Amino acid sequence: MKMFYRLMFVVLSLGLLFGCGPENVRSEMRPHEDGTYRGAFIDRDVIQVVVQFTLKDGIVTAASFRRLYLNDRYNQDNEQEPYRSVIQQHQEALDYLVGKNLSQHLAQLYSPGDIVTTEVDGYSGATIRSNKLISAIRDGLNRGVYSH
């Protein structure tokens, strides 16, 4: 066990010595290259949310779902209520970012009830799982530009 800790100490020390410290880790708060990004939220080997968005000078110029799925109950092609309206809520949350600086507005998706106005029987804007959307967007940022 001591050998493991020594090895970890060496690895961390080398990382800090060669500029791999936390200040060099990319985050959504730093400027991102212009282009189109794709990201996904996957849980239990099921692709639940895949988004595509385009950034120009940090501003989201376009955003869409490539996949929106949850336990066979709804996906972006489901026209039955209440699922169609729940899908509309998710789309409204994603559309909120269009025209806005991503770094300044992404965190606001943590409170979807403040953004989503579509009401559904038994589902309010606060009911949607915006964390999945946020994770998919961050995944896209971490992957880098998909296309220029």
**By three-state DSSP, how is residue 30 classified?**
coil
**Within a domain: residue 16?**
no
By residue count, the chain amounts to 148
**Within a domain: residue 5?**
no
Local confidence band at 142 (pLDDT 50, 70, 90 cut-offs): very high
Number of structural domains (the chain) is: 1
**The pLDDT of residue 23:** 42
Which pLDDT tens digit goes with each residue over 64-75? 999 887 666 556
Lowest mean pLDDT among 1-10, 19-28, 57-66, 92-101: 19-28
**The pLDDT of residue 87:** 80
**Within a domain: residue 53?**
yes
Asked whether 108 and 133 are in contact (CB, 8 A), the reply is no
**Within a domain: residue 20?**
no
- Cα–Cα–Cα angle for 49, 130, 87, nearest 5°? 65
Note the pTM of the prediction, 2 decimals.
Answer: 0.71
**The pLDDT of residue 140:** 96
CATH for 67: 3.90.1010
Residue 74: domain span: 31-143
Alpha-carbon gap, residue 62 to 65, rounded angstroms: 11
**The pLDDT of residue 45:** 81
Helices then strands, each counted (H, E), the chain? 4, 4
What's at 133, amino acid-wise?
L
CA distances, 144 to each of 32, 41, 91 (Å): 8, 16, 23
Is the pLDDT at 8 greater than 60, yes or no?
no
**Within a domain: residue 14?**
no
Local confidence band at 20 (pLDDT 50, 70, 90 cut-offs): very low
Residues of the chain with pLDDT > 90, as a percent, come to 37
